[in-house]
């Protein structure tokens, strides 16, 4: 779907953005909020430990599997249509998950819910590319970045509140049921506010690369499955999937090049990475940053709940300074990126590294009773920096992507972030557990080691951002770039 070539923006664009971000918030929130509900699921449903882990990992797995395909379907069928279909599926699967009578039903519902969320998420970035231009696009991506950051950080808090309000036996059901009324309202508003796609040219079959979908799906599955199952020994039992994924990835790239040579439409155009300024490095920055960003929430939850004996709600509240700092700075950074470009991201990564480094330094030194207060300031600093990373990086990465490819480009970008999330959770979780074992269950030393690992990921992302800044020293959102985005490069 492409916006008509006109200088007049859609007057409903900000209201449409509010609706799509609400739906996106729900889908991203469900990545983290269910972690808090796992004990309630075991109590109320009599589920096994392995079954409850699949409630979390199954969602993450199918979410990551379909992001690129969801983006391509949005490009081909129209983002409004795909948004409404995916949101309807997300609402239905949330209701089924809440009504589950056994763990098999719940795991199945979560797998389908993750797939619906993966189809829904790329439509957000595609619609922003379509509805906004210039500095407004940076502001819109700033709000999108704030949504990503807040949904990840506040999940434990909201989950804890819901469990506390509805009880340990049935509170977990309302973690899913809460999506239904909010989703239905968003569905009605989206049907009225989102722009319709122009008539599609050619057949649907000619627009979709089905072999490419299968090959990319197998590649992502081989990478994600061992990582999301790392807590259950997935890395040792499923390591053979990594080389298999490399083989499928190689075949996928060869297939996509063949599709291009035949002048057909590929699933993921390789020229996104070779000819689109800033896309390849921006995607690498996002994936690397998410390794440290997403993995630290699991570590904080284990530290505060297992190490210090705090409740899930208390644990969630102690990390809210990061969410608050991220929410405020993301909106501001979204405006600043139009003028300052990659320097915003570089500054943000420096602040994240400093904040998490201070956490690693302070936690082993202060008394246990004062840890919550001691880490509040550093987490706020890291949150301010985090808000300056996600939305500006998304804006810069997608800036020169043609609108006709916005969905698949956004899906590929977020697939990298999902892979980074899975890798970060596996690595930081392993470092934390190793630290607890090596230091005779001194959780403070283990947390410090995990935070230093997160700092290393952040510094790696910083190095990539510096390389991009040096390659494009005066890069910012310009009218020339906006024109390329609207019309697309010549084939």
Residue 363 has φ and ψ, to the nearest 5°, of -55, -45
Neighbours of 473 (CB within 10 A): 10
C-alpha triplet 283, 402, 406: angle, nearest 5°:
60
pLDDT > 70 fraction of the chain, expressed in percent and rounded: 90
Nearest-10 crossing angle of helices 49-65, 406-438:
150
pLDDT by residue (tens digit) across 379-431?
A: 999 999 998 998 888 888 887 787 777 778 888 888 888 888 888 888 888 88
C-alpha triplet 414, 419, 386: angle, nearest 5°:
65
Residues 491/319, Cβ–Cβ less than 8 Å = no
Residues 166/157, Cβ–Cβ less than 8 Å = no
Residues 290/424, Cβ–Cβ less than 8 Å = yes
Whether the pLDDT of residue 24 is over 80: the answer is yes
Q: Which two tokens stand for residue 429?
A: 């979780």
Whether the pLDDT of residue 487 is over 50: the answer is no
pLDDT by residue (tens digit) across 216-239?
A: 889 988 888 888 777 776 677 788
Q: Which two tokens stand for residue 351?
A: 């602040």
pLDDT at 288: 94
pLDDT by residue (tens digit) across 54-81?
A: 887 888 888 888 888 888 888 888 888 9
Task: Assign 90 to helix, strand or coil.
Answer: helix
Q: Which fold has domain 13-194+267-487?
A: Growth Hormone; Chain: A; (1.20.1250)
459 closest CA partner among 387, 404, 385, 396: 385
Whether the pLDDT of residue 148 is over 80: the answer is no
Query: Which of 37-46, 286-295, 482-491 is the least confident region?
Result: 482-491
Higher pLDDT, 476 or 170: 170
> Residue 416: CB partners within 8 Å, gap ≥ 6?
283, 284, 286, 287, 290
Report the b/e string of 34-45 with b at 16+ CB within 10 A: bbbbbbbbbebb
Domain locations in the chain as residue ranges: 13-194+267-487, 209-266
């Amino acid at each position: 779907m492409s916006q008509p070539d006109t200088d007049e923006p859609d007057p409903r664009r900000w209201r449409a953005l509010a609706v799509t971000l609400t739906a996106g918030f729900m889908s991203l929130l469900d990545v983290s909020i269910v972690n808090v509900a796992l004990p309630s699921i075991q109590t109320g449903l009599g589920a096994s430990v392995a079954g409850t882990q699949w409630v979390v990992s199954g969602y993450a797995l199918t979410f990551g599997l379909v992001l690129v395909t969801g983006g391509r379907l949005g490009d081909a069928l129209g983002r409004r249509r795909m948004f409404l279909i995916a949101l309807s599926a997300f609402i239905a699967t949330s209701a089924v998950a809440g009504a589950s009578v056994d763990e098999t039903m719940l795991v199945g519902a979560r797998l389908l819910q993750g797939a619906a969320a993966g189809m829904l998420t790329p439509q957000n970035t595609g619609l922003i590319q379509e509805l906004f231009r210039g500095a407004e696009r940076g502001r819109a991506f700033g709000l999108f970045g704030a949504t990503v950051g807040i949904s990840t950080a506040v999940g434990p808090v909201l989950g804890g509140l819901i469990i506390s309000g509805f009880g340990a036996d049935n509170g977990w059901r309302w973690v899913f049921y809460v999506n239904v009324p909010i989703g239905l309202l968003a569905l009605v508003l989206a049907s009225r506010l989102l722009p319709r796609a122009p008539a599609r040219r050619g057949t649907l079959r000619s627009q979709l690369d089905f072999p490419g979908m299968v090959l990319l799906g197998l590649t992502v599955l081989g990478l994600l499955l061992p990582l999301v199952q790392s807590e259950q020994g997935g890395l040792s039992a499923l390591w053979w999937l990594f080389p298999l994924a490399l083989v499928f990835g190689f075949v996928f790239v060869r297939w996509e090049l063949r599709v291009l040579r035949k002048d057909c439409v590929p699933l993921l155009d390789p020229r996104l990475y070779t000819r689109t300024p800033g896309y390849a490095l921006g995607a690498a920055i996002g994936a690397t940053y998410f390794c440290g960003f997403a993995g630290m929430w699991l570590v904080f939850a284990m530290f505060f709940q297992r190490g210090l004996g705090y409740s899930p709600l208390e644990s969630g509240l102690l990390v809210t300074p990061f969410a608050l700092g991220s929410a405020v700075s993301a909106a501001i950074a979204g405006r600043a990126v139009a003028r300052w470009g990659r320097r915003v991201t570089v500054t943000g990564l420096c602040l994240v590294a400093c904040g998490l480094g201070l956490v690693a330094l302070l936690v082993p030194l202060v008394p246990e009773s004062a840890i919550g207060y001691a880490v509040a300031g550093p987490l706020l600093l890291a949150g301010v920096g985090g808000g300056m990373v996600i939305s500006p990086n998304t804006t810069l990465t997608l800036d020169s992507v043609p609108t006709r490819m916005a969905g698949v480009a956004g899906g590929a970008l977020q697939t990298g972030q999902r892979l980074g999330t899975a890798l970060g959770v596996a690595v930081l979780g392993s470092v934390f557990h190793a630290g607890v074992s090596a230091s005779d269950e001194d959780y403070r030393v283990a947390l410090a080691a995990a935070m230093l690992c997160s700092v290393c990921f952040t510094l790696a992302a910083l190095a990539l951002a510096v390389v991009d800044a040096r390659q494009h020293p005066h890069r910012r959102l310009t009218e020339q770039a906006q024109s390329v985005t609207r019309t697309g490069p010549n084939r």
